[in-house]
Structure 1
Amino acid sequence: EKAREQDWDDLDAEDEFDPIMVSEYVNDIFVYLREKELTTKPDPEYIDNMNQELSWKMRTSLVDWIIQLHYAFKFCLETLYLTINIVDRFLSVRPVPSAHLPLVGIAALFIAAKYEEIIVPSVEQILKAANNCNTPEEVFIVERCILRELEFDLNYPSPLNFLRRISKADDYEMFGRTLSKFFMELSLLNNEFLNYLPSQITAASMYLSRIMLDRPEWTPNLRHYSGYNEDELRECVSLLIQSLASPPKKWCRSVLDKYALPKFGKVSLFARQWLKRNIEKAEDLLV
């Protein structure tokens, strides 16, 4: 009877004999990740509440710079998301002078790389790539300070965890997945997205990419494996469209330029052209 009520397919059943997919535990894992994303969420108002010397424009500039640095080292995407989460959570609990903001960014990248990467560059290499005149010792001091403030909790469920889950319900379609990754990365630059959870940003990114690829139906499988229905995504989708529609500024073009490369399917060009050609459709998605 329960099976008859269920309108989604059990896509984990096919992985029963694949030990890498841990299908036996996958539901428990994602319940845990959904709980964990609540405890690793930064304060969306931390500039007003904790860091009045900083501005949201400074944060955008810092994130853009970290994205460039991350790309130069060819780090995995998990490292990028963890770096930004470390920065935001640290600035939520500790006031930082604006002059020290790049140092916080470098220390956060160094921590994230040690947590996620197999081969980690030295602090000296990171400082050199960043054209930064701080000393390694200063980075270590900030690193210790960050880890103490965060109580060494680096177990952050990034949007990528949730993208892997939703992609299962989207048949792992490659272009749509890359387009979703572009939207997810674009969200890092806009502080308004601090109001949303990684799972929600991921679902909204997949929702918007499917609309752009003329596959607008949010199927029962997508609803189940993302954990969100369409109404719960509207605000976030609207914000993604606004971020995409705003004219790119010289000082925060890293995501647009990166995803305009052939290796990423030129998805940022595709998305911006779609927006120009489908103004009415896009306006319907705004709330």
Structure 2
Amino acid sequence: MVSEYVNEIFDYMKELEKTTMPNPKYMDHQEKLSWKMRTVLIDWLIDIHNQFRLLPETLYLAVNIVDRFLSSREVDTYKLQLVGVTAMFIAAKYEEIVAPSVQNYLCVQDLYNEDEILRAERYVLKALDFGLHYPNPMSFLRRNSKADNYDPLSRTFAKFLMELSLIDHRFLFFPPSKVAAASMYLSRLILDRGEWDANMRHYSGYTEEELSDCVDLMLLLLLIPRKNFPSIQLLKKYESKKFMKASLHITKWVYEHMSLIEKRLSPKYRK
């Protein structure tokens, strides 16, 4: 981003958050769907995204497209995966230099043919009024990283935590900027990188207190045992050397600090 306009750009992005966030209660009008089905879909999209080696921005935009579309249109169960495939197809065309072709998506699922995906693409875009300009959390994370001296380990841990937020629908109440800041906050806490100082508050736009509800929800998910974890694909992805074995380090830290975590959780998240 152009340095002389960076503050204005991020102010604009925070305003844009208000118009591109989905309805966090959209499942109330989905007669055939459930939040559990959404979780399964997002877990599958994380796997597809990883197989295609796409940019992080593509995954976040794809999930945003899914949630905004489901906020405005009722969908049958058998069409939900089509919405997911189409959202990834659209997001990749928007974010990637070389996007996978529609034929690539035929190789990762066998429910829908090329014509169905292309027709769904037009339908989804019309439903969103062709609005794909979305304040991606990756942009906010990069800004936060500046205050963290661009440390690769804390940024990678934060990326895992941001992707974790895609799995649980309760994060739909939080804007992308807050999810990014909470991810960096928790990453630094795990790595013992010091307090959330004035520099971090300036670049993130959030105080420690303002992040507590989002951080607590992340910790709540991290307390879930592996066998019941909502996204095994996410854990496996971040167990690799490419991602510095972030999920292994984070789950180990959670296990070692379990009692401390349970004490800090807000009452609504306690058992």
TM range (shorter): over 0.9
**What is aligned with 2:269?**
none
Residues 66-89 of structure 1, C-alpha deviation per residue, up to 9 Å, x if partnerless? 110011011111100000000000
Aligned-pair Cα RMSD in Å? 1.2
Segments of 5+ residues of structure 2 without an aligned counterpart are: 267-271
Residues 146-192 of structure 1, C-alpha deviation per residue, up to 9 Å, x if partnerless? 11111101001111010011100000011000000000001101111
**What is aligned with 1:92?**
71
Letter in 2 for 1:286: L
**What is aligned with 2:174?**
196
1:147 to 109, 125, 128: 125
Counterpart-to-counterpart distance in 1, 2:157 and 2:93? 28
**Aligned ranges 1:106-185 → 2 under 5 Å:** 106-128=85-107, 130-185=108-163
Mean alpha-carbon deviation: is it higher for 274-283 or for 22-31?
274-283
2:217 to 239, 243, 249: 239
**Aligned-residue offset at 1:103:** 0.6
2:8 is the alignment partner of 1:28: yes
TM-score (norm 1): 0.90
Letter in 2 for 1:30: F
Give 3-state SS (helix, strand or coil) of 1:118's partner: coil
Counterpart-to-counterpart distance in 1, 2:40 and 2:165? 13
Counterpart-to-counterpart distance in 2, 1:23 and 1:284? 42
Bigger-Rg structure (1/2): 1
Residues 195-221 of structure 1, C-alpha deviation per residue, up to 9 Å, x if partnerless? 101100111111111111112400101
**Aligned-residue offset at 1:64:** 0.4
Counterpart-to-counterpart distance in 2, 1:47 and 1:252? 20
**Aligned-residue offset at 1:131:** 2.3
Q: Conserved in 2, the CA contact under 8 Å of 1:106 and 1:127?
A: no
Mean alpha-carbon deviation: is it higher for 93-102 or for 244-253?
244-253
Say how many residue pairs are matched. 265
Of all paired residues, the percent bearing the same amino acid is 51
TM-score (norm 2): 0.95
Segments of 5+ residues of structure 1 without an aligned counterpart are: 1-20
**What is aligned with 1:78?**
57
**Aligned-residue offset at 1:251:** 6.7
**Aligned-residue offset at 1:247:** 2.0
Residues 203-244 of structure 1, C-alpha deviation per residue, up to 9 Å, x if partnerless? 111111111111240010100110000111000000000111
Runs (4+) of structure 1 moved beyond 4 Å? Answer: none
